[in-house]
Amino acid sequence: MCGIAGIAGRPDTALIHAMTDALAHRGPDGEGHHVDGDIALGHRRLAILDRAGGAQPMAYGGGRYWMTYNGEVYNFQALRAELEAHGHAFTTRSDTEVVLAAYAHWGEACLGKLRGMFAFALWDSVEKRLFLARDPVGVKPLYYAETKEAFYFASEMKALLKCPGVNRELDLESLDDYLTYLYTVPPRTFYQGIRQLPPGHCASWRHGRLTVRRYWNPSCLGPQRADDETALLEALDAQLRDIMALYRVADVPLGAFLSGGLDSAAIVYYMTQQGETPLTFTVGFGEEGKRYDESREARELAACLQTRHHELQVTSRVAELLPKLTAHFDEPFGNPTALLTWMICEQVREQVTVVLSGDGGDEAFGGYPRYRGVSWAERYRNVPEVLRRGLIHPLVRRLPESVSGFHGLRRLREFDAGALLDPVDMYAHWIGYYTAAERQHLYCGDLATTLSGRDPHEYIRDLARACDAPDPVSRAMYVDCMSFLPNNVLQYGDRMSMAHSLEVRVPLADPHLLEYMLAVPGTLKLRSGKSKYLLRRLLSGHLPPEVCNRRKTGFNPPMGVWLNGPLREIVEDYLSPERLRREGFFNPEAVAHMREAHRTGRRDYTWHLWALIMFQQWRQDI
C-alpha cells in the first residue's frame, strides 16, 4: 500500500514533495518523484511486493508512460504471463510494472483485467493525457481538485490542502449527507473544491478538461438457480479457494482478524486449507463492553483452527484519539467502529504488515439484520392498517431503548417507522441516521433555509433504479455494495490501517465474489429468517456448529455506554449549549433533547451524538 499524489498542468517540484510528505504514513518505506514538462507525480511506498525493485513513480514503454500507483493487483502473475505472450518484457517482479504494461497493451480496457484493490494515475507523455482509476469496490481512495492553474490529485485530501487555489469552504450538502449516512457521498467532500473519484470509476484529464465515467456496475441477474443448491455450493467453494490463494500473495508477514463470527472464520478456515498456520488477532472490551466482546468465541475458534492467536484489549481512551481520527479522515466520519479499527491496527502492526479482514462478508452473503427486515416488511404490509397505526405504532414509540448494545428495540422502532413506505424509501430510511425532520430541527437559521427541501435519500433511489435485481433482498444488497461498503466500511478500514502503515486486504469484498453472490437468488441469501444461508451451509461440518449458527454481533465499540460514562465530559464539552450557539450550526435545544433522552435510556442516540462530536472535532482542527 502506498500514498500517491500529482499535479498536471503546472508541475511544481517543491509542491509535489510537500504533497507526498503529507502522505508519509501511507508509505514509510520510501518516496519518489517524477517532474517533467506538464506533469509532476509523487509516491510514498509501503513495500509489500518486490521490495527491492518496485520503486515509483515507474516508467514503461521507453519512458512514454509514467505511473504512481497505490494498491495490489493479486492476479498480476497471470497477467504478466499473458502480456509476455504478447511480446512485453519486464525488468521487475512488481505488480506496478504489470499494470503499466496492461495499460500500454489494452488501454482503458485493462481495468477489466485487474483483480485487486488500487488507485493509480498514469501519464501518457505522447498524448499529454492523465488517466486516473479507482478499483471497482473502492477499497483504495482517490481525491482530486481542479483550479484555474492546475489539476491536482492525491490518496488523501490533506495533500490537496497543500495546493494553492483549492476552495476550502464547507460544502453544506455534504454536511446534510453526513448526518444522514455518517459519511460523505461521492463525488462530494466537506470541501467545495475537492472531489473524490467514486468507486468503480475512471477519469481522464487532457488540456485542462476532465471527464469521469463508471466502468464497473455488477448485475444481479445470472444463471444461478435456486433449485441447484449443490452446484451453487461447489461454485462458491471454488471461488473462495481461488480468492484466498490470490489474496495471500505477499513478500512480508501476513495475519488475519478473527472474531467469533462467520466471515472472519471463513477466511481463516480457507487459509488453513492452503497449508497455512495463520497468525490471528481478536479484540476485547472488558466488562464495560461485554455485550460486544467476542474474545472468548474467537479464542475457541482459534483453538479449533489451530492458529497462532493473539487477544488485544481496547479501552475508552477516545479523547486522545479524536484529533488523530479527524486528521486521517480529513473530514468528519461518524461510524465509531473507526475507533476500534485504529486501536487494533495500532497493535497488529507491531507483528505483521498485511492482515486479512472479513469486511464485505455481510454485503456478499446477506448478513445485516436489515435484509431480514426487507423480507419481513413484505408480510407486515398485509397486517390491517387499523392495527398497524392504531395499536402497533403507538406501542412501539413508547418503548424505551437500550444504549448498552442491545439494538432490538431501536430496530423495531425503525422497522415500524419505515415498513409502510415504498420499498426503496423504506430501505433508505433504515440505513439513515438523522431523519429529515430531525435534521431540520437540528439546523440553525441559514443552514436550515439552505438545506430545506433537499433529500439526501435520492442517492439511494438512484442506486436502486440502476439495479436489475428481481427480489428486494438482492436489491438491498446491491445498494449496500455500491454505497455502505465503499463509503463506510472500506473507508474506515483504509484510513485507520494506513494511519499505522498496515495493509488490510478484504477477500470477501472481491468484485468477482460480489458479482457471483448478487446473482444468487434471494431465497439462498436468507432462509427461514436466517442470514448468510449459503455460507452457513458451505461451512457446516468444517467449523463448529455454534459458529455456523451464531447470530451476528457486529464489530462495534460500546459507544452508547461510553457516552454516558467515561466519555461524558466530551459530550458536555463538544455539545454544550454555549459552544453550539457560538458556532451557529446546530440548535442547542435539539441537541440537549438528544443528550437527555440518551442519558436516561428513553432513546438510543449513540450515532446521532457521535456524528456531532466528530463534526465538532473537525471544525476545531481545521
In a domain, 469, yes or no: no
The sheet that has 2-8: what strands, in order across it? 30-36, 39-45, 2-8, 151-154, 143-146, 195-196
Q: How do beta strands 254-257 and 354-356 pair?
A: parallel
Range with the poorest average pLDDT among 79-93, 219-233, 401-415: 401-415
Is the Cβ–Cβ distance between 324 and 342 less than 8 Å?
yes
Which is more confidently placed, 267 or 315? 267
In a domain, 443, yes or no: no
pLDDT score of 527: 87
Quick one: 247 and 330 in the same domain?
Answer: yes
What integer best gives the mean pLDDT of the chain?
90
pLDDT band at 287 (very low <50, low <70, confident <90, very high): low
| Euclidean distance between CA atoms 525 and 527, whole angstroms | 7
pLDDT score of 312: 83
In a domain, 393, yes or no: no
Quick one: 154 and 197 in the same domain?
Answer: yes
Q: How do beta strands 2-8 and 39-45 pair?
A: antiparallel
CATH assignment of the domain containing 511: 3.40.50.620
Report the share of the chain in percent with pLDDT over 70: 92
Range with the poorest average pLDDT among 144-153, 495-504, 595-604: 595-604
Question: In this predicted model, what pLDDT tens digit does every residue of 52-76 receive, in sequence order?
Answer: 667 899 999 999 999 999 999 999 9
By residue count, the chain amounts to 622
pLDDT surpasses 60 at 289: no
pLDDT score of 409: 64
Quick one: 191 and 254 in the same domain?
Answer: no
pLDDT surpasses 70 at 258: yes
Quick one: 342 and 480 in the same domain?
Answer: yes
In a domain, 392, yes or no: no
Is the Cβ–Cβ distance between 6 and 121 less than 8 Å?
yes
| Euclidean distance between CA atoms 326 and 328, whole angstroms | 5
| Euclidean distance between CA atoms 299 and 265, whole angstroms | 11
Look at the block and give the residue holding cell 479482514: 357
Give the mean model confidence (pLDDT) for residues 411-437: 82
Quick one: 64 and 209 in the same domain?
Answer: yes
Give the mean model confidence (pLDDT) for residues 344-370: 93
Quick one: 30 and 132 in the same domain?
Answer: yes
pLDDT score of 242: 96
In a domain, 311, yes or no: yes
Of 538, 486, 494, 546, the residue nearest 517 (C-alpha):
538
Q: How many domains does the chain have?
A: 2
Quick one: 147 and 283 in the same domain?
Answer: no
Of 144, 184, 183, 186, the residue nearest 167 (C-alpha):
144
Quick one: 55 and 189 in the same domain?
Answer: yes
pLDDT score of 393: 65
In a domain, 577, yes or no: no
In a domain, 600, yes or no: no
Quick one: 164 and 257 in the same domain?
Answer: no
Question: In this predicted model, what pLDDT tens digit does every residue of 478-505 receive, in sequence order?
Answer: 999 999 999 999 999 999 999 999 999 9
pLDDT surpasses 70 at 260: yes
Quick one: 63 and 120 in the same domain?
Answer: yes
What's the burial of 276, exposed, middle or buried (CB within 10 Å: 0-12/13-18/19+)?
middle
CATH assignment of the domain containing 48: 3.60.20.10
Q: Which of 526, 549, 572 is the last residue of a domain?
A: 549
Name the E strands within 10-79: 30-36, 39-45, 58-60, 65-73
pLDDT score of 30: 87
pLDDT score of 399: 66
pLDDT surpasses 70 at 209: yes
pLDDT score of 162: 97
pLDDT surpasses 80 at 521: yes
pLDDT score of 499: 94
Question: In this predicted model, what pLDDT tens digit does every residue of 174-204 receive, in sequence order?
Answer: 999 999 999 999 999 999 999 999 999 999 9
Is the Cβ–Cβ distance between 368 and 525 less than 8 Å?
no
Quick one: 194 and 262 in the same domain?
Answer: no
| Euclidean distance between CA atoms 563 and 495, whole angstroms | 24
Quick one: 312 and 192 in the same domain?
Answer: no
In a domain, 622, yes or no: no
Q: Which range marks the domain in which residue 192 is found?
A: 2-171+180-214
Q: Which of 530, 549, 568 is the last residue of a domain?
A: 549
